Structure formats: structure tokens, C-alpha cells
Amino acid sequence: MRAELREIIEVVGEDFALSSVDELKRFSVDGKTPRLVVFPRSVEEISEILKIAFRSSTAITPWGGGTKIGLGRIPDRVDVVICTTNINSVSEYEAADLVCTTQCGIQLRKLQEILRVKRQFLAVDPPHLEAGATIGGIIVTNDSGPRRQRFGALKELLLGIKVVRADGKVVKGGAKVVKNVAGYDIPKLYVGSLGTLGIVVEATFRLYPIAEFSQTCIISSPDIDALEKNVFAVLNSTVVPTCLELVSPPLLDRVSGHLGFDIPKKGYALCVRVESIQRAVRDQISRICDMCGGSNAKITLIEGGLEEKLWDCLINFPWKFLKDGRLACKASILPGSIKWFLRGLEQISSSLHLDAYVLGRAGSGVLTVSLESREDDSSLVDAVSLLRKEIRVIGGNLTVWDCPLSMKSRIDVWDDIGESIGIMKRIKRLLDPRAILNPGRFVGGI
């Protein structure tokens, strides 16, 4: 065993390190197996590990719940995996101020249980909650979920952050107050960074009260034009939806079958969720029905347990019930361009004999597209290229979120980001000059 690996084991103790071949395989990243996996129990231990790694140019892969470990390019190297699940306490919780500081190895599910005692919650609903998604993983993958429509993206809920840099130095950014105007907004730098700029060990969030009542209105529209009309009718009204999701016909059929509930299938559907006091919810849902009830639309109202099951399906799309071997993409476009993208997707998937499923944040233009091939995966590779050409015309970009390992060597999972890559590479060189943190996995090989 290399000397630096022995030093790292001494930091955490042998009981908190894995080095046997069978154990290490469970922590492989895109087929690359680490030499060592460690489970530090404090920020100080993580700092000491990174000091050793920086000095010896040992590649480090941060690992939370491992639910999105396949995101990104195939890494250049995987020497040591630092698993953060032992760094999992709530450091400070001021319920009266709606502010919470927590270590980043804590599972989101566990944090929500703690906050629920005071009828509060962190207003994000990313996938893989039951599988153990951690706060740190959610931050570095920038995964917010459908509630982004009402509460904003994760970065808008993040007030402060503590990070261990590549050289082992512990740094802080932001503050523990909702209104903070001092200095640069450092926390946002780490949101979506995929662990390439530092290991996030602590975060402070603004919280929200849990709503008294919830109801969802499912509006099935006959065509894409009617869907767009309904989206902007809701967005331009005084209604305040918590979630505003568009669902493609094939996905609606799968969801309906999974729930055992017959949702009218008439083209694309718009799922509008409203949460507040019961009287306000009923009033807003009634207004939505009035606004969107024309154009031969079919409207279904659900609440209670069935509503929760519906949103669990949508939040965990495509992982919950679509087959393995699919390709899942995240398309980011302007809301006004959604219908153009959907039409292009229909043409491309038809020509390549693909089954396409779409779920989208209709208010922000962030769409998840899952493609399944009826033949071989070469058509999936072609689809990525064609979709990127289509989406660039309307000023968007397309990231491959999940795909078989065999495809990663044939496509770049990250889209071209233009001149921004120069700035990102300079930031990487400043914060990780030896490129030891998740080397090669991020956009542009960062």
C-alpha cells in the first residue's frame, strides 16, 4: 500500500477505512475502483485527509449517498473515496428564524423528519430520497425538484456554506441570516460544482412552514399549443402554484398504470400543485380550472395519499419505473421555447425509433427527457447529437444525466458552454491547482 494511503488510514482509524477488493468495488465510479474508501467522523479529519492528498497528488472522490454518483464524465482517476455519511448532525436550528445549519452527510429524509417536528421543511424535493440522498450531494448536483416553481432553486435557499478546499483549508461563505449583503455570494459557487472545487461539509438554509393542505389539478390538453396556452394562463395569473409540471403522453400513461388510477390521457398534461390553507387552495384550484377548462381540456383533481404517490412518481422520474439501458437528459430552455423543443423531440425520436418520455418544469424551462431504444443504443447516441443541434437553435443546452457506461466513451455528457469554460477552468486552477478533486468529471474535463 502506498505511503499516503497508510497516512490517510491513520487519520480515520482502520475501523473507518475499506481496502479489500470486494469492499472497494461497491464504490466504483464508472468502472474505476478506488484504492481506499474512508469514512471520516469530523470536518477536521476531512481536512487532514485532503492535506495528505494535496501533498501527494492523490485523486479524491467525495461520496454522499451515492445516488447520483454516475453523473458526469468518466473520471480520470479514482484513488480515494471520502464518504461523508458520518458527518451528519444538525449543527444549529433556529425554528423561530426559519434557519437551519446542518452537516452535509445527513440524508435529506432525516433532516426533513427533524424539521417536521416544528412543522417546517427545506423546500427541495429531489429524487432518491428513500435511497439516501444527502444534503451535500444535492448541493453539488444542483437538484431542486418540482417545488422550485414556488420556492426557487436550491441556490436561492442556501444562505451559508462551509467547505474543505483541496489543500485541506476550511473556508466559510455566506451567513446564517436570510438578509445578507456583505461580500461575494460564495455559496452559489459550489452549487452544481460536482465536488470539483472542494468538499462541502456544512450548509445553512432558509426554511419554510409546511402547508396545511395540498391539492393537484391535472389538465390534459389535446396538443402542445393548448398546453403552452394553459402554462402561461397559470403563470400570468395571481395563482401561486407550488409545482407546475408538464407530462408527455407516454409518461402520463406509465404514471397512470403505476398508480393504478385512470388519468384522462388526451395529449400532454399539466400537473399544477397548490399548497396553503385549505380555503385558499380550493379557491386557487377553482380559478385554475376556470382558466384552463376550455380547448377540450380534461381536468382531474386529486389530493391526499394518491396525490403524494403521483408526486413521488414525478420526482423520481425516470429512475422509479422506466427500464435500465435508457438515456436521461436535462434540457434547459426558455419556457416560451418548450413547444418548439417538444416538436423537435417528437420528430427525432420517431425517426430513430425511440420511445421518449418528458417531464418538465413548465415555469422554468428545465425538462427531463428519457429515451429508450427499441433497437440498439447507437440510436441513443445519434439522438443526443440531434437534440443538441435542435436545442442550440432556441438558445438552450442539453446535459446527459444518466446513461449506460458503454455510451459515455462515445458522447460528451456535458454540452458546450461557450466562453464560460475559460472562467470555470481559472476558478478550478485557483481552488484546486493540482486537480485532485473529481478530476475529469465536470464540464470541459475539469
Question: If pLDDT is split at 50, 70 and 90, which confidence band does 341 have?
Answer: very high
Pair 162, 220 in one domain: no
Query: Is residue 89 included in any domain, yes or no?
Result: no
Q: Does a structural domain hold residue 58? A: yes
Mean pLDDT over 212-219 rounds to 96
Residue that is last in its domain, among 83, 111, 144: 83
Predicted confidence at residue 257, as pLDDT, reads 86
Q: What pLDDT score does 295 carry?
A: 64
Name, in order, each residue with C-beta under 8 angstroms of 190's C-beta and a sequence gap of 6 or more: 139, 140, 161, 163, 197, 198, 200
Q: Are residues 53 and 145 in the same domain?
A: no
Q: Is residue 421 one of the residues assigned to a domain?
A: no
Query: Which residues span the domain enclosing 237?
Result: 213-315
* Measured distance CA(110)–CA(120) in Å, rounded: 13
Are both 170 and 104 inside the same structural domain? yes
C-alpha 242, offset from chain centre: 18
pLDDT tens for 129-140 read 899 999 999 999
Picking from 80, 87, 74, the residue whose alpha carbon sits closest to that of residue 136 is: 87
> Higher model confidence: residue 91 or residue 375?
91
β-strand partners of 400: 329
What local confidence, expressed as pLDDT, does residue 174 receive?
Answer: 86
Helix or strand (DSSP H, E) at 162? strand 158-164
Q: What is the mean pLDDT of the segment spanning 8-31?
A: 96
What is the pLDDT of the chain when averaged over all its residues? Answer: 93
6-20, 105-119, 365-379: the lowest-pLDDT one: 365-379
How large a percentage of the chain has pLDDT more than 90? 82
- On whether residue 396 sits in a domain, the answer given is yes
Residue 280: pLDDT over 90? yes
Average pLDDT over residues 376-381: 87
Q: Which one of 315, 347, 380 terminates a domain?
A: 315
Map grid coordinates 414525478 to a residue: 314
Q: What is the CATH number of the domain that holds 145?
A: 3.30.465.10
C-beta atoms surrounding 94 within 10 Å:
12
Whether 226 and 293 share a structural domain:
yes
Share of the chain above pLDDT 70, in %: 96
Give the torsion sign (CA, 218, 224, 229, 234). positive
- CATH of residue 294's domain is 3.30.70.2190
pLDDT at position 319 over 90: no
| Number of domains, the chain | 4
Q: Is the pLDDT of residue 311 over 70?
A: yes
H or E stretch covering 311: helix 304-315
Instruction: State yes or no: pLDDT of 320 exceeds 90.
Output: no
Residue 203 near residue 158 (C-beta atoms within 8 A): yes
* Mean per-residue pLDDT, 228-232: 91
Same domain, 401 and 350: yes
Assess whether 99 and 205 both reside in one domain.
Answer: yes
Structure confidence at residue 321 as a pLDDT band (50, 70, 90) = low
| Predicted model pTM | 0.94
Residue 267 binned pLDDT confidence (cut-offs 50, 70, 90): confident
Do the domain assignments include residue 201?
yes
Query: Residues 262, 256: contact at Cβ < 8 Å?
Result: yes
Instruction: Show the CA angle centred on residue 394, arms to residues 391 and 400, nearest 5°.
Output: 25
pLDDT for position 398:
97
C-alpha cell at 155: 441556490
Q: Residue 423 falls within a domain, yes or no?
A: no
| Over residues 205-217, mean pLDDT | 97
Q: How far is Cα 119 from Cα 209, in angstroms, rounded to an integer?
A: 6
Please classify residue 26 by burial: count the beta carbons closer than 10 Å to its beta carbon, then call 0-12 exposed, 13-18 middle and 19+ buried.
exposed
Q: Which of 184, 209, 234 is the last residue of a domain?
A: 209
Average pLDDT score over residue span 158-180: 87
pLDDT at residue 180, as a whole number: 58
- pLDDT grade, residue 12 (50/70/90)? very high
Confidence of residue 374 (pLDDT cuts 50, 70, 90): confident
**28 and 116 co-located in one domain:** no
The C-alpha atoms of residue 376 and residue 148 are separated, in whole angstroms, by 36
| Whether the predicted pLDDT of 265 surpasses 70 | no
Bridge partners of 107? 134
- Domain match, 303 and 388 both: no
Residues 278 and 221 in one domain: yes
Instruction: Return d(Cα 415, Cα 102) in angstroms, integer.
Output: 33
> Are 185 and 108 part of one and the same domain?
yes
What CA–CA distance (Å, rounded) separates 22 from 18? 9
Does residue 334 register a pLDDT over 70?
yes
C-alpha cell of residue 117: 417536528
Residues 6+ apart with CB under 8 A from 371: 326, 327, 328, 329, 349, 354, 355, 356, 357, 380, 383
Q: Residue type for 159, please?
A: L
Mean pLDDT throughout 67-96? 96
Q: Write out the E strands in 221-320.
A: 243-247, 269-276, 298-302
Q: How far apart are the first and last CA of the chain?
A: 28
Phi-psi region of 198 (alpha: psi -120 to 50; beta: other; left: phi over 0): left
pLDDT at 182 over 60: no
Q: Taking 60 as the threshold, does the pLDDT of residue 6 lie above it? A: yes
Q: Say if residue 326's pLDDT is above 90.
A: no
pLDDT tier for residue 227 given thresholds of 50, 70 and 90: confident
Residue 154 exposed, middle or buried by CB count within 10 Å (0-12, 13-18, 19+) = buried
Q: What is the pLDDT of residue 181?
A: 54
What value does the mean pLDDT take over residues 330-349?
95
What's the CATH code of the domain at 14?
A: 3.30.43.10
Quickly count: other Cβ atoms within 10 Å of residue 378's Cβ: 12
Question: Would the pLDDT of 263 be above 90?
Answer: no
Domain assignment present for residue 51? The answer is: yes
- Nine-digit cell at 443? 464540464
Residues 157 and 197 in one domain: yes
Q: How far from 428 is each of 82, 168, 193, 202, 433, CA to CA, in Å?
A: 20, 15, 10, 21, 7
22: exposed, middle or buried (Cβ count in 10 Å: 0-12, 13-18, 19+): exposed
Residues 182 and 127 in one domain: yes
Cα distance between residue 233 and residue 311, in whole Å? 22
431 domain residue, yes or no: no
Question: Can you tell me the mean pLDDT for 207-212?
Answer: 98
